Chain A
Amino acid sequence: MTDIEQLVRDTLNDYATAAPEFTAMRPEHGRRWRLIAPLAGIAVAAALVGAFAWFDTRPPVISDLPADGPDISEMTGIDLANALGLKPHFDGTTHGCDATGHGDIAYCLDSVSDDPLQRRIIALQIQGYARNDALVQYAQLDVKIAETLHDLGYRKGTDAIEPYQKQQDELKPDLVYVPDDIRGLTGEAVGNELGLAPMKTSEQPGCWAFAEYVNGSGFCYEDLTGHDKFASLILGAQINGHAPTAAEADYLAAYLEWNYRNHSSLAHDPDREAELWGQIVDLRSQLTSHTGDALPMPGPDVNPLNDDTITALEHQGIHVSLLDPLDTKPEISVSEALAAMNDDARDAEPAEMSLARVTVDDYLNHANERIIDNRLAWIGLYPDTEVFLSGPIQGSEDRPSTYTADMIVVVDATTGDFLRAETIS
């Protein structure tokens, strides 16, 4: 262990003693009570957290929603925050206030209104949702949840808010998400519209998708484009000042919206996401002159998944329907898929590999829906792979151990994204 590693270890152990005692995280101890993030969805809950703060400690504010000025009822996102004159907090954090956010940027809402409901409505609009009846009702339920948890505390409140949460679930389909519109923008304006935090190029923290808008400053957008290389390239170029073509802009818009909805509690919409994915696939084929390097079949030493493997996968809730690559012509070639697999398979070669439609039963998103559902994917089998068990907390449990198992690796055959690695018995 190097000196710096030892210093880091000592520092962490030292500062661990300064962590809050869990028993102190109770409302009866008089601290602000911020617990509902996962209950109402992270994005929604955040402002509720602020509502607690308001109930408990917030000094009264004298201003309310302005009667004059621009009509904010139809605005969303950064535009609304700017119209309200809110100061952006680029590190995504605010200090002791009722807050909301867009992308990396947080805004303190205390100055906006002294009415918790109004603040909730504004918070949702800034997050990107159009003000409609469903949004207002959703915000009202947020306030009720906040009041209930505040009055009853954690244990009793958890049960008491369930009816409100169910009502919110019923309202979610009627919430209208308005994606950021970056068409026609280039350079810094792109990042501003998307809610990206500007940072110095020299200080960008290990970001794999970073683009400069002027020499020395740029945006990290890795969470917006994920591992999609086309979306990443297009957005990066746009931030660099290069306007995308119409097809590129369409592709980027579709991917950004799909990615947001796919990760969002409120905007998640399977039908819309399926529609967007169809657009993404179509546009990708326009943007690429692929297939020249797309080997139609795995190499001669690699067999297709055999019946025993398929049966073992079925027992584990992984359903595969094999396809002929010659007919399907996947976007991602065998060699590209192997490259993606080998990162997680320690450079071994698969014994079996096939193109397939893949569904994984137990791999679910926050909405309990399958993440891999009838996905066109390459699936490889790596026998006798050394697998590590989950590790211990320092000094309190057994040392880590390994076991040997057959492992399957799934790579999206359209995007090349690594999807899943799992052992099979």
Chain B
Amino acid sequence: MDDFDAFVRQHGNEFARLAFLLAGDRGHAEDLVQGVLLNVHKKWARISEIERPVAYVRTMIAREHISWRRRHYTAEVVTDAHVILSVDRTASDHADTIARRDATWERLSALSKRQRAVIVLRYYLDLTDDEIAQVLDCSKATVRSHATRALRSLRESSDTLSEETLT
């Protein structure tokens, strides 16, 4: 299992970032990553043999996040208001940019799990719609539908914020 430990050391943070963006809070992200990695640990002999174990585990994380079973799972979720405060701000960031990103982040939390997963996979991992369809085990049309609805919702939120800023 040494190679499993090395795999986790090398990619653990990468998985945590993906889980965080999917789940929207630290506590849930921790549950997600730890849960998936325990499954990986149990099946490591087989998973380590596949060509791209990192992509495989990413798929496990995304599917676990949206899986039907998690609706029956009872999570302890820590409110993550502090996350917003802890995001690193560079000097070049203007206040309105920060506000728009914070608003976008909050609006992301209002999306359904599937919509959010599509957005994260498309715009964070840069997957194509075909690849997203494979990861989420759905059709490409479903991916496009989720993306369209999610972007429309986020766009409306962004427009509202702009109007409030102007007034």
Chain A residues within CB distance 8 Å of chain B: 2-5, 7-23, 25, 31-32, 34-39, 42-43, 45-47, 49-50, 53, 92-104, 106-107, 123, 127, 154, 158, 203, 205-207, 223, 263-265, 343-344, 366, 388-394, 396-397, 400, 418
Contact = CB atoms under 8 A, between A and B. Distances in A.
Contacts of B74: 43, 46-47, 49-50, 94, 99-101, 106-107, 123
Contacts of A35: 31, 34-35, 38
Given A43-B72, A102-B72, A264-B72, 16 more contacts: A18-B87, A31-B30, A34-B31, A35-B34, A38-B36, A38-B39, A95-B77, A96-B76, A96-B78, A97-B76, A103-B71, A106-B75, A206-B112, A344-B139, A391-B125, A396-B14
Given A15-B21, A22-B16, A101-B72, A206 B150 contact: yes
30 contacts: A4-B154, A5-B123, A7-B100, A9-B124, A11-B108, A14-B87, A15-B20, A15-B83, A18-B87, A22-B15, A23-B13, A32-B76, A35-B31, A35-B38, A37-B34, A37-B73, A38-B36, A38-B38, A38-B39, A43-B72, A50-B74, A53-B76, A94-B76, A99-B75, A205-B112, A205-B153, A206-B145, A265-B69, A344-B139, A391-B131
Nearest to A206: B149
A418 B149 CA distance: 23
Nearest to A127: B72
A8 B119 contact: yes
B20 A19 contact: yes
Nearest to B28: A93
B85 to A, nearest CB: 9
B120 interface: yes
B105 A392 contact: no
Contacts of B12: 22-23
Given A16-B20, A19-B21, A393 B14 contact: yes
A281 B21 CA distance: 41
Contacts of B67: 42
Contacts of A207: 112
A38 B57 CA distance: 14
Nearest to B151: A4
Interface in B47-74: 52, 54-56, 58-59, 64, 67-74
- Is the contact region of chain B dominated by helix, strand, or loop, or is it mixed? helix
Interface in B72-111: 72-79, 83-84, 86-88, 100-101, 104-105, 108, 110-111
A4 B151 CA distance: 7
B141 interface: yes
Given A18-B20, A43-B72, A390 B135 contact: yes
Given A4-B154, A49-B31, A206-B145, A344 B114 contact: no
A208 to B, nearest CB: 8
Contact of A22 (B33, B38, B120): B33
Contacts of A94: 74-77
Contacts of A32: 76
A391 B69 contact: no
Contact of A93 (B16, B75, B111, B151): B75
A20 B20 contact: yes
Contacts of B75: 46, 49, 92-94, 99, 106
- Is the contact region of chain A dominated by helix, strand, or loop, or is it mixed? mixed
Given A92-B75, A207-B112, A343-B141, A34 B38 contact: no
Contacts of B125: 391-394
Nearest to B130: A388
B30 A392 contact: no
B72 A7 contact: no
B124 A12 contact: yes
B98 to A, nearest CB: 9
Contacts of B146: 206
A396 B114 CA distance: 25
Interface string B148-167: 01110111001000000000
Contacts of A18: 20, 83-84, 86-88
Contacts of A39: 38
A315 to B, nearest CB: 19
B13 to A, nearest CB: 5
Contact of A206 (B84, B88, B114, B139): B114
Nearest to A50: B76
A396 B135 CA distance: 18
Contacts of A53: 76
Contacts of A107: 74
A344 B104 CA distance: 32
Contacts of B134: 388, 390
Contacts of B36: 38
